[in-house]
Amino acid sequence: MTPDRRDPALGIHLGVVALLAVLQFLLPPFHHGMMARIMVLAAYATGYNLLLGYTGLMSLGHAMFFAAGMYGTGLTIQHLGLGVAAAFVAGVAAGLVVAGVVGLITLRTTGPAFLIVTMMLAQAFYLAMLYFNEITMGDQGFVLAGLPFADPTVKYNVALVVFAACLLGSLWLVRSPIGRVLVALRENEERTRLLGYNTALYRLVSVVMSGLMSAVAGAAYTLLFSYVGATFAGILYSIYPLLWTLLGGAGTTLGPLVGTLLMTYLVDVASGLTTGYLMVVGAVLVLTVLWAPAGLVGGLRARWARWLP
């Protein structure tokens, strides 16, 4: 762990970003939209991974963070006429508030209880969005008009920027002192407390950061795809990041991207085959838990690259 001039991990991450950038010139246009979606959702998964992979807390309620970003941005544009930048900030701020509240509520909850509490809170959030459907348009949602992101190339590159920011941000975080403490929290909470760390505070910070990144993804999604709808607040969108992260590898920075990429294409293919395509979601979950608990990148890392963050 001696500080090195060359930083292979950073190199790999930058390489991945570069690859994604180049990809847009190689892929046919249909896939541009798909990839843009994937990159934003991968940003969401990266945020989720901060909590699951590094702090060791499994949440089933992240949809409320994503949706907070989405509604914060979408509603302010639709009803308050805010501009893109201001709306983005509003979405992120909404995510911050929701994450803060949830973090405070769950300060002393761990393990399966944490799972259920977050699931319940997210469900309540979802139902509330349905309840107020004069404003939110419930499940059907509404479309935002006049956003400057219609061009596929613009979509792709903005999504790329968002994802790259989240990816590199998470890389910096997990290698920083804070990241170490979060891992310590995951590994042995009492020990960490007795090393002088205010574990409650770190818990809260972790939830907030994770929620914040998810909200950023949500806000970006709304801006890029001009759509706001309660489906994104539903339990499926809390299960998705869990799935993507687990499959890709919790506790690895690149895992979420891999998982999101694979699963989104898989679901896309499956939906062409059968109406019951979510079965694929179920099957992959079960298989991953049984056969590959470390995920794809996690497995690779254990074999060949233990130094990868």
Partner 1 sequence: MSPLLETQALTRRFGGLEAVSSVDFRLDRGEVRALIGPNGAGKTTLVGLISGRLAPTTGRVLFDGHDITRRPAWHRVGLGIVYTFQITSVYRRLTVHDNVVLAAQRRRLRGLTDWLALDREAVAGDVAAALATVGLAQVHDQPAGALSYGHQRLLEIAMALALRPELLILDEPTQGLAAAEIDALIGLVRDVARQATVLLIEHNMAVVLEVASRVTVMDSGRVIAEGTPRQIETHPDVQRAYLGR
Partner 2 sequence: MLALTALGLSLVFGVMRIVNVAHGEFFMLGAVVTWYVSTLAGSFLAGLVAAPIVVGAVAIVADRLVLRRVGYEPESTIVATIGLLYILQQLVLTTYGPYARPVEAPLYFRIDFPWFGYSGYKLIVAAGAGVLIVLTWVALSWTRLGLFLRATQQDREMAQAFAVPVGRIYTIAFGLGAGLTAVAGALIVPVQQAHYLMGLDALLMSFVVVILGGLGSLRGTLVAALLVGLSDGLVSVLFSPTLAKIVATLLVGLVLAVRGRGLFGEEPA
CB of 188 to partner 1, least distance (A): 6
Residue 31, both tokens: 């896939």
Nearer to partner 2, 118 or 214 (CB): 118
Nearer to partner 2, 24 or 118 (CB): 118
Query: Which residues make up the interface to partner 2 (CB under 8 A)?
Result: 58, 105-106, 108-121, 123-124, 127-128, 130-131, 239, 242, 246, 274-279, 281-290, 293
Query: Do residues 234 and 126 make contact, with C-beta atoms less than 8 angstroms apart?
Result: yes
Nearer to partner 1, 167 or 181 (CB): 181
* Residue 178 contact, options partner 2, partner 1, none, Cβ 5-8 Å cut-off depending on partner type: partner 1
* Residue 276 contact, options partner 2, partner 1, none, Cβ 5-8 Å cut-off depending on partner type: partner 2
Query: Which residues make up the interface to partner 1 (CB under 8 A)?
Result: 1-3, 176-178, 180-181, 183-184, 187-188, 190-199
Local structure of 167: helix, strand or coil: helix
- How many angstroms separate the CA atoms of 281 and 208, rounded? 27
* Residue 116 contact, options partner 1, partner 2, none, Cβ 5-8 Å cut-off depending on partner type: partner 2
Nearer to partner 2, 22 or 236 (CB): 236
- How many angstroms separate the CA atoms of 284 and 266, rounded? 10
CB of 114 to partner 2, least distance (A): 7
CB of 209 to partner 1, least distance (A): 13
Burial of 140 (0-12, 13-18, 19+ CB in 10 A): exposed
Sequence-distant (6+) residues with CB within 8 A of 25 are none
Query: Do residues 229 and 101 make contact, with C-beta atoms less than 8 angstroms apart?
Result: no
CB of 283 to partner 2, least distance (A): 6
Nearest to 36 by CA among 172, 164, 228: 164
Tally Cβ neighbours within 10 Å of residue 258.
23
- How many angstroms separate the CA atoms of 236 and 31, rounded? 23
Nearer to partner 2, 169 or 256 (CB): 256
CB of 70 to partner 2, least distance (A): 19
Query: Do residues 16 and 257 make contact, with C-beta atoms less than 8 angstroms apart?
Result: yes
